[in-house]
Amino acid sequence: MIGNEIFSLDSYDCIGFDLDNTLVQYVEFELVSFIYDLTAKYLIEHFDYNSDDILKPITYDIDFLRKGLTLDVERGNIVSLSEDGTVLRASHGFNFFTTDEIRQIYEPNGKWNLAAIHCDNFLQTWNGEWSNKIRSFLDYFDMCLPLLFARLINSIESRNETITSCDIWSHILQAVMHIYRNESFENESGEYYREVKKNPTKFLKKCSKSFLDWLQNLKLSGKITFVITGSRNDYANFIAEHGLCKEWNKFFDVIIYYAKKPGFFVKNRPFLFKNTKNIAQPLELKLNSSYEEGNWTDLRALFSKETGKSNPKCLYIGDNLIQDIYAPAKYHCCDTIAVVQELMLEYKYDELLDSKKWGTFFYDDEHQKNSIWGKIIASYSKICIPSVDWFIDQSLRKKYNQLK
């Protein structure tokens, strides 16, 4: 919903970005397919799942894919949620429930109590006991996992095996942790990092010169520019050099690696400074520097010192609706802009983003209700854009009607 309040980039003192899927864009189909295959192969090798059932191209069931799906671990169901945690659509394996069946499974009237807690405060279910019972999938790195889970449910139940849905999810988590383990990029011990390093153009889109010019103009406008990424510095630098340019860090005053979002915005982890010999806490934060981990409070103090303002106006742009949008805006850290590629469906069809089985990312036409993600975007982001390229032809002073 469009409101009456006016929004402009020029009104901010400090403008920051996420890296993966924001500043650096991936070849989405190749990335999702590759992550699916790696995860499935790990499960087959380590837990003896049936390869015929799960090692199939994602194109066989591509309409099952959609960002924003949520896993009910204990029941073994994949669900799509409304803004209050009501289950709008649900499947067990590939068996979709009717509305009446959903209301019987999730009482009363399709309301899943844990989902209501999840939707009310995502950070309550991010870690701890509840995180083992509910999980939402929000980006291209994990959007294949509901499809894999559904195939595993079908495989196990058709063969009358005794593995539980909780076991399946535990095995998938082990696979994911193995694929993305921290030391893999440097020593190429993991197939994901090894393949990305070997074939960067297969997985990474090259930005336009116009976008680099826009970043340069943003920096020259006198604003403090920064990056906060969850990626380690070696991987982050690699994808930025290939997706942006070799000297990509010249566009930014501060770069924070391995930020451990959303905790970065709500916790008080110390900043770490990495040199060639060791990692240590910096005596003070400075511009034209890069750090690891850290917290928003200290970063904002740096911005305050450098701008000479007690309350500098800050904006953060990212694609993950919990880590990049909900957490910083909910806890009054800064304003946000949501990068949601599903907006492109208004202009062109993309089979990876468009699902008839699950409905749209923003709104469920069948039930005439906003999805939880439509609510998050409307409540916590100033505007929503399909990609940061959208700003290329826009003046920093351009005014927009912000969401409400």
Spell out the domain ranges in the chain: 2-25+204-341+361-403, 28-197
Predicted pLDDT at 238: 96
Beta-carbon-side half-sphere exposure of residue 30 (alpha carbons within 13 Å) = 13
Nearest-angstrom CA–CA distance, 383 and 294 = 27
Per the prediction, the chain carries an average pLDDT of 93
Average pLDDT, stretch 79-101?
A: 96
Predicted pLDDT at 204: 98
Nearest-angstrom CA–CA distance, 81 and 369 = 10
307: phi then psi, degrees, rounded to nearest 5? -90, -15
C-alpha closest to that of 205 among 67, 12, 404, 27:
27
Predicted pLDDT at 4: 55
- 260 dihedral zone (left: phi>0; alpha: psi -120 to 50; beta): left
Nearest-angstrom CA–CA distance, 331 and 297 = 11
Summarize pLDDT for 341-360 with one digit per residue, the tens.
999 887 788 889 999 999 99
Within its chain, how far is the Cα of 184 from the centroid? 21
* SS3 per residue for 271-295: EEEECCCCEECCCCCCCCEEEEECC
* Beta strands at 70-72 and 77-81: parallel, antiparallel or unpaired: antiparallel
Which region among 59-68, 104-113, 329-338 has the lowest average model confidence (pLDDT)?
A: 104-113
Whether the predicted pLDDT of 340 surpasses 50? yes
For the ranges 172-186, 274-288, 306-320, the one whose mean pLDDT is highest: 306-320
Please count the other Cβ atoms lying within 10 Å of the Cβ belonging to residue 15: 24
Q: What is the CA radius of gyration of the chain?
A: 21
Nearest-angstrom CA–CA distance, 397 and 7 = 9
179: phi then psi, degrees, rounded to nearest 5? -65, -40
* SS3 per residue for 8-37: CHHHCCEEEECCECCCECECHHHHHHHHHH
Whether the predicted pLDDT of 335 surpasses 60? yes
Please count the other Cβ atoms lying within 10 Å of the Cβ belonging to residue 239: 23
What tokens were used for 255? 């770069």
Summarize pLDDT for 364-404 with one digit per residue, the tens.
988 899 999 999 999 999 999 999 999 998 888 888 888 76
Fold observed for domain 2-25+204-341+361-403: Rossmann fold (3.40.50)
Rounded to two decimals, the pTM is 0.95
Predicted pLDDT at 1: 46
Whether the predicted pLDDT of 276 surpasses 70? no
- Return the SS3 of 143: coil
Predicted pLDDT at 191: 84
Predicted pLDDT at 70: 98
Q: How confident is the model at residue 184 (pLDDT cuts 50, 70, 90)?
A: low
